[in-house]
Structure 1
Amino acid sequence: MTVTIIRPGLLTTVQDLGRPGFQKLGVAVGGAADAVSLRTANLLVGNAEEEAALELTLGGVALRFEADTLLAVCGADFSPALDGIPFPQSRPVAVRRGSVLEFGVSRQGLRTYVAAAGGFAVPKVMGSASTYTRGGFGGFAGRALQAGDVVPVGPPGERSARLGRVLLRSAGTDSGDAGFGCPYLSTSWFASDVAGIVRQNDRRIIRVLRGEHFERFDADSREKLFRQPFVVDPRSDRMGSRLSGPALQLSAPLELLSEGVSHGTVQVPPDGQPIVLLADRQTTGGYPQIAHVASVDLPAVAQTKPGEQIRFREIGREEAEWLLVRRECAMRELQAAISLKLRDG
């Protein structure tokens, strides 16, 4: 089974959950910018959570499926349509051979994920199928997808095959005559943070913990961090979300050796404009670290478009851990719901 790229959009890459364990060698972890959406899409088609999927940025993509398959689209809303018919997101959908799935411009969010039963079967590098474009390896030839690329999809496992059969029965057909099957399972009951949206309004509240150098910033900057909004800069990319807002200043000059950074580290370069490190972050950094984004809110940062505002709110370690546990419980509930549907089907 293959997928043909008709239009690649701004940036479409193959991603999974990254390649941890190689940062000591200077290799970025990479992987999906919004790992929760990728994991959810994979679960919905019966894949393991870590299977490779397509990460689309700001829409404008068109894909043709060269065989019948089971799909799920999760993440940002790019108004997907299958052969001109609105395509439901966050649900498993059976798709006919030759169907074209198109994505318009973003209504909400920055990145969305397309999972196919069996996963996208590109060669793994250091145990991961994720594309690292800065290094030119992983994914599909180490680069963003281009028009005319034909990306292979692996054979679906038994779990995916059973999901497909259940879905087709729910659509009233056991053939591929319908354009796509009727969805039977929604994830709309997930908490908003699982969907990658922290607050359902025009401003996102990103929860953070104090960074190692928080106290080295002056009192005014520490207050501004939590009281003033920041706007995502158009220069942002998969490496980091660059923010524009009140300049954050150190109380005194600080000489730092480069030290380890993590997904969600908030660094402050000399211009005082913070950068939230994302999936393709470097392995070390020499800028002061004023904060760290709580893991539960990393998808929200990854889904905030240039020009949109975010605000930071301080929380403690215990709250951050509790929020993450709650999200993982929701993921386990999704797995259980799919297992029950398979058993009943």
Structure 2
Amino acid sequence: MNVIQIKNPGPMMTIQDLGRSGMLHAGVSRSGPMDAPSFRLANALVGNPQESAAIEFAMLGGSFAASAPVRVAVTGGAVEVKIDNVPVAPWESHWLMPGAILSIGVVKGAVWGYLAISGGLEVPVTLGSRSTHIRTGLGGLEGRCLQKDDIIEIGEAFSSPLMVQSQPRIFNGDVIRIVPGPQADYFDDANWQIFLGQSYRVSAKRDRMAQALEGPQLSAAGGHDIVSDGTVFGSIQVPGSGLPLVLMAERQTTGGYPKIATIATVDLPKFAQTPTGAPVRFVSISPQEAEDLLIAERQASKASLASLSKKPDPA
């Protein structure tokens, strides 16, 4: 049995795949990666199917050892990666040999990083997914964040050369596109002018469930309590504090605060990767524009995965 050992875990380090669908009625949100394109790319670089389970971490990667030769790739942001203290590049795959230590440093210019290992991580499938859902203790490794000395079985890998992504993803700009939410009419023109006309900052109060924003307060007509209704990844709630709260991959499935808007799916990875303290500005687009943008992004992502190139043989 081939395994990967967590020598030192980074913050909020969990096992994720592409997520758990069809369980909203049971109060279980999809979970899955906060930045799905970076997750898919990490798997592609090591020759895994896109849905293979990999490791997600926040801000700092930690260190790892493998019991057998495996290909590894780290994506998500500009991050220092070393194998036995020798620097290697992120956004491409490398061999990790038994006895060697893979070290992943601080994520720069982003928040969430991904470590894919050839063969994927063979934790049990729970409700159709290997994704960790911390809130309910489901999936992953015992439904929790990874800890020091955890050992995870690795699946059988497909034969594949070492690969490189020639143009790593860069999250530039502060504009986040939104569509009006189900309670958009709870907010009058003056509040919409504030919401769209002024900047917010991403608060340090953030995790896989939600990201709080700091900035101008909003006021909902009739108050900030509603009959609970469904939420989605990217719902922007406005609680009694008046400060927007963006629901993320591991959100609750219903909420009792009015939702002024929803972040366009195409911009969810960019928003999730916005560093703490960085500004964001919201721009309203139509649902049709949001759909068109998502289709174009998925086509570009597919082309990017198809354009991965084989690394040259070492001299």
TM over 0.5: yes
Aligned to 1:151: 152
- For residues 53 and 152 of structure 1, what CA distance do their matches in structure 2 show? 12
Shift of 1:72: 1.5
Q: In percent, how many aligned pairs have the same letter?
A: 37
Normalising by the residue count of structure 1, what TM-score does the alignment of the two structures yield? 0.85
1:29 matched to 2:30? The reply is yes
Shift of 1:99: 2.0
**Worse-superposed segment, 87-96 or 30-39:** 87-96
- For residues 19 and 25 of structure 1, what CA distance do their matches in structure 2 show? 12
- Structure with a larger share of its residues in helix: 1
Which structure 2 residues correspond to residues 155-166 of structure 1 after superposition, within 5 A? 155-157=156-158, 161=159, 163-164=160-161
- For residues 306 and 39 of structure 2, what CA distance do their matches in structure 1 show? 18
- For residues 254 and 273 of structure 2, what CA distance do their matches in structure 1 show? 24
What is the CA deviation profile of residues 56-101 of structure 1, one whole-angstrom value per residue up to 9, with x for unaligned ones? 1110511112211111111022312221122212222223222211
- For residues 224 and 59 of structure 2, what CA distance do their matches in structure 1 show? 38
Which structure 2 residues correspond to residues 144-223 of structure 1 after superposition, within 5 A? 144-157=145-158, 161=159, 163-164=160-161, 167=162, 184-188=163-167, 195=169, 197=171, 200-201=172-173, 204-223=174-193
- Structure with a larger share of its residues in strand: 2
1:239 matched to 2:222? The reply is no
Aligned to 2:282: 312
Give the secondary structure class of the aligned counterpart of 1:104. strand
Shift of 1:205: 1.1
Normalising by the residue count of structure 2, what TM-score does the alignment of the two structures yield? 0.93
Given that 2:238 and 2:257 are in contact with CA atoms closer than 8 Å, whether structure 1 keeps it comes out as yes
Aligned to 2:10: 9
Given that 2:34 and 2:249 are in contact with CA atoms closer than 8 Å, whether structure 1 keeps it comes out as yes
Change (3 A) 1:39 1:24: same
Change (3 A) 1:8 1:341: closer
For 2:123, the aligned partner's letter is V
Aligned to 2:247: 277
Q: Give the root-mean-square deviation of aligned CA atoms.
A: 1.8
Give the secondary structure class of the aligned counterpart of 1:79. strand
What is the CA deviation profile of residues 94-119 of structure 1, one whole-angstrom value per residue up to 9, with x for unaligned ones? 23222211122232211100111111
For 1:11, the aligned partner's letter is M
Change (3 A) 1:33 1:220: same
Given that 2:80 and 2:90 are in contact with CA atoms closer than 8 Å, whether structure 1 keeps it comes out as no
Given that 2:75 and 2:114 are in contact with CA atoms closer than 8 Å, whether structure 1 keeps it comes out as yes
- For residues 218 and 318 of structure 1, what CA distance do their matches in structure 2 show? 23
Change (3 A) 1:223 1:47: same
Aligned to 2:265: 295
- For residues 114 and 155 of structure 1, what CA distance do their matches in structure 2 show? 17
Shift of 1:305: 2.4
Shift of 1:334: 3.1
Given that 2:224 and 2:240 are in contact with CA atoms closer than 8 Å, whether structure 1 keeps it comes out as no
Given that 1:34 and 1:196 are in contact with CA atoms closer than 8 Å, whether structure 2 keeps it comes out as no
What is the CA deviation profile of residues 111-161 of structure 1, one whole-angstrom value per residue up to 9, with x for unaligned ones? 10011111111111001111111211210111111111111111102xxx1
- For residues 284 and 99 of structure 2, what CA distance do their matches in structure 1 show? 50
- For residues 319 and 59 of structure 1, what CA distance do their matches in structure 2 show? 35
Number of matched pairs: 310
Shift of 1:281: 0.5
For 2:272, the aligned partner's letter is A
Q: Which runs of 5+ in 2 are unaligned?
A: none
- For residues 247 and 290 of structure 1, what CA distance do their matches in structure 2 show? 13
- For residues 85 and 42 of structure 2, what CA distance do their matches in structure 1 show? 22
- For residues 97 and 325 of structure 1, what CA distance do their matches in structure 2 show? 42
Which structure 2 residues correspond to residues 22-101 of structure 1 after superposition, within 5 A? 22-101=23-102
Change (3 A) 1:60 1:156: closer
**Worse-superposed segment, 62-71 or 139-148:** 62-71
Aligned to 2:230: 260
Shift of 1:196: 6.5
